Structure 1
Amino acid sequence: MILMEDVYKTYPNGVSALNGINVEIKQGEFVYIVGQSGAGKSTFIKLMYREEKPTSGKIVINDMELDKIKEKRVPFLRRDIGVVFQDFKLLPKLTVYENIAYALEVIEESPKSIRTRVLEVLDEVGLKNKARFLPAELSGGEQQRVSIARAIVNRPRIVIADEPTGNLDPDTSWEIMKTFEEINERGTTIIMATHSKDIVNTLKNRVIAIENGVIVRDEQRGEYGYEV
């Protein structure tokens, strides 16, 4: 469960990114975050995994109150949150297998359980035959699948995706969205910032629209609502 109450975020340069956000997202929901560039979407998302801290207000993620937890507890918060980025953020000198395994190595899983789980998620995203490849040897869509596999390898309750199809062609984007839908069907909460009108209007889910740091629309099975 995700809860934000009266959340404000002002950056040191004086830019006001969020202005009184109040929202609740239940476990298992699939939510699109939409809005024009600069509306506050990225800040909204970064607050959830403590990449940014609110200037004021209350944020609760999986029963952890983010403005009150100590820095040493942040890694425990992030174990339950998978993050998928537009530019993949894969480690270029590590193989596909190693990129995913790294997420388990940092929490000191055993080598045997790491191997089992990595091969399992590679199978889920259709890349079991690419385990020994380097990121540069993969297509953009395959790299994003690796990024998704890395995000879900810890079996997080929440997956946050920031423009995950932004660098992909339309056909590949639909394949990636199918993967996200399958993850969501297993009970994982998906929160996705996107500029894709076609995806939002075709694959109906909850839509939260942000403008000038304020939620202006929150609809179940909503529309994108902006010209592209």
Structure 2
Amino acid sequence: MIEMQDVYKKYPNGITAANGLNIHIKQGEFIYVVGPSGAGKSTFIKMMYREEKASSGTVLVNGVNLSKLKNREVPFFRRNIGVVFQDFKLLPTLTVFENVAFALEVIEQRPKDIKRRVMDVLALVGLKHKVRMLPSELSGGEQQRVSIARSIVNKPKLIIADEPTGNLDPDTSWEIMHLLEEINLKGTTIVMATHNKEIVNTIKHRVVAIESGRIVRDEQRGDYGYEG
């Protein structure tokens, strides 16, 4: 599913954000990515959907070698990946329905198929009754649910979540986690960067800790391992 072999990422300012990464993630796993701020977590997950390109080494996702992927091929590669952001990244002038449908319109799905699929995923995330609302009319938790609906509408094999509960209150954070758990149980691989100690220590999954661009810990059913 995902494999990194001796991966380095050095930015033009001289910062090395990935320093010899090696990891294998199997289809259907749920991975927490933890570590101090500035440790390289975001670079680690961004390389998985080619938002960042490794300086050297091999990054394989769904059998695709991202080091050899041409820029024009990246949008096609991303069709099998859903990304959930901390700040939602919804289109403010589009309704809930339109935000989710947009992900299918860009790959030219038939309107009838789009409507059926969008309503299915909005039912899954509990927002079928808010299809005509704009993002500004929703709570933070509801906006994150729309973001998750958009990320799964293409039935991706992989969801990458970058601090998906970072801007949410504790109760809403647990709701979002239970939703991600449900999606994972259907076979979707989830890689989630997080600073939420309570979630990591309560809902047990594989924990990958990154410090100074290196993987310093990789444990099945691990703990968060940091203060805070």
Per-residue CA deviation, residues 180-223 of structure 1 (Å, 9 max, x unaligned), is 00000000000000000000000000000000000000000000
Partner residue, 1:119: 119
Matched, 1:138 2:174: no
User: How much does 1:77 deviate?
Assistant: 1.2
* Deviation digits for residues 100-131 of structure 1 (CA, Å, limit 9, x no counterpart): 00000000001000000000000000000000
Which residue in the other structure is 1:109 paired with? 109
Matched with 2:194 is: 194
CA separation in 2, counterparts of 1:67 and 1:19? 16
Partner SS state of residue 21, structure 1: strand
TM-score (norm 2): 0.99
Shift of 1:69: 1.7
Matched, 1:23 2:23: yes
Distance 1:106 1:13 in 2: 35
What residue number does 1:87 align with? 87
Q: Distance in 2 between matches of 1:13 and 1:108?
A: 40
In angstroms, what is the RMSD of aligned CA positions? 0.4
The offset of 1:224, in angstroms, is 0.1
Instruction: Give the secondary-structure state (helix, strand or coil) at the position aligned to 1:59.
Output: strand
Query: For the residues of structure 1 that align with 2:211 and 2:71, how far apart are their CA atoms?
Result: 31
The C-alpha deviation readout for 1:167-187, integer Å capped at 9, x for no partner, is: 000000000000000000000
Q: Which amino acid aligns with 2:117?
A: R
Alignment partner of 1:154: what SS?
Answer: coil
Q: Single out whichever of 51-60 and 69-78 deviates more from structure 2.
A: 69-78
- Same amino acid, percent of matched pairs: 71
Question: Which runs of 5 or more structure 2 residues have no equivalent in the other structure?
Answer: none
Alpha-carbon distance in structure 2 between the residues aligned to 1:134 and 1:99: 9
C-alpha distance in 1, partners of 2:144/2:184? Answer: 17
Q: Which residue of 2 aligns with 1:59?
A: 59
* 2:35 alignment counterpart: 35
Q: Deviations over 1:67-123 (max 9, x none)?
A: 112222211210011000000000000000000000000000010000000000000
Match of 2:46 in 1: 46
Q: Which one is further off, 65-74 or 168-177?
A: 65-74
The list of structure 1 runs, each at least 4 consecutive aligned residues, that deviate by more than 3 angstroms after superposition, is none
2:220 matched residue in structure 1: 220
Aligned partners of 1:97, 1:62: CA distance in 2, in Å? 29
Count of aligned residue pairs for this structure pair: 228
Letter in 1 for 2:166: G
Q: TM-score, normalised by structure 1?
A: 0.99
**CA–CA distance in 2 between the matches of 1:109 and 1:161?**
25
Instruction: Point out where structure 1 has 5 or more consecutive residues left out of the alignment.
Output: none
User: Deviation per CA, 1:132-157, whole angstroms, max 9, x where unpaired?
Assistant: 00000000000000000000000000
* Equivalent AA in structure 2 for residue 205 of structure 1: H
Q: Which amino acid aligns with 1:64?
A: V
Equivalent position amino acid for 2:164 in 1 = P
